[in-house]
Homo-oligomer: A and B are copies of this chain.
Amino acid sequence: MAASAILRPQDPATMRGHDARLACRSGAIHGTTGGIAPGYVQGNLAVFPTALADDFRRFAARNPKSCPVIGESAPGARTIPELGLDLDIATDVPGYRVWRDGVVAEERTEVADLWRDDLVAFVIGCSYSFEAAMAEDGLPLRHVEMGVRVPMYRTSIPCAPAGPFAGPMVVSMRPLKPAQAIRAVEITARFPAVHGAPVHLGFPEMIGIADLARPDYGDPVRISADEIPVFWACGVTPQSIIAAMRPAFAITHAPGCMLITDRLNAEFAV
């Protein structure tokens, strides 16, 4: 028994955060991190040269619903000890995007060889945390039921600008019955560090979304006649901003492929 338990690969759905992060680092886990290491905080990644990092820090502070920063590296460092003692920002995310002049030049599984002394990494809270709280309360998550990525949309809601960082908020959408939507507001409001309460519900056109069936990121999901679309600020917002402002160089996670931390979702509830 003991020997077979040692040899059997760990189930990602029961892994602790640290084990899951090491599995991402080794390549044993690749692709989306949804459903992996339940209970542990996962994060969006945005990496900028020092020259832009101060502006991004101000941008994030001015847009706490879309860019709630939960960790930041020192310039050049690949560590963020408060998120995991041995965390390596350049190897532990299962999918990276390397941006050059505002376009995705490469998708990779590690960026150690691209690391520079002037890079600053920001980790931004992710909706996987509040989705866990919603699921525990019995609320449906349509994209999880359908086995697809959550649909995300660029909106007409402007972010508060800071230096060259300016552009629209990206939102994720989950369809819910009205009473469920109210409950979801109550639950997600307890998690301001991971996007908090929704920013809109009901009328996509009021926030500049022309067609729910055609998300800008992720996959479309089914909406029933008795459901309304509920929209949360999304940690993909920086990627939309990068595409608009076209910095020479930036690194982000690939949508859905998050940094798994050692912190517990419960620690982030107010």
Q: Among residues 193 to 250 in chain A, which have CB atoms less than 8 Å away from a CB atom of chain B?
A: 197-203, 206, 226, 228
Taking A206-B226, A226-B206 as contacts, is the C-beta distance between A200 and B179 under 8 angstroms?
A: yes
Q: Are A179 and B202 in contact (CB under 8 A)?
A: no
| A228 in contact with B202 given A182-B185, A189-B189 (CB within 8 Å) | yes
Instruction: Give how many A residues have a beta carbon under 8 Å from the other chain's beta carbons.
Output: 18
Contact among B186, B189, B202 for A202, CB-based, below 8 A: B202
A182 in complex: contacting residue of B178, B179, B197, B203, CB < 8 Å: B197
Copies of this protein in the assembly total 2
- Chain A at the B interface: SS class: mixed
A181 lies within 8 A of chain B by Cβ? yes
Q: Using CB atoms, name the residue of chain B closest to A184.
A: B185
**Min C-beta distance of A176 to chain B, whole Å:** 11
Report B-chain residues with C-beta under 8 Å of the C-beta of A200.
178-179, 182
The answer to whether B197 and A186 touch across the interface, beta carbons within 8 angstroms, is: yes
Shortest CB–CB separation between residue A228 and chain B, in angstroms? 6
- Tell whether, in the assembled complex, residue B197 and residue A185 are in contact, meaning their CB atoms are under 8 Å apart: yes
A124 CA / B74 CA spacing, docked (Å): 55
CA separation between A228 and B181, bound complex, in Å?
Answer: 14
B182 lies within 8 A of A199 (CB): yes
Chain B residues contacting A199 (CB-CB under 8 Å) are 179, 182
Closest 7 CB pairs of A and B: A185-B185, A186-B189, A178-B202, A178-B200, A178-B201, A182-B198, A182-B185
| Sample (5) of A-B pairs whose CB atoms are under 8 Å apart | A178-B201, A178-B206, A182-B197, A185-B197, A201-B202
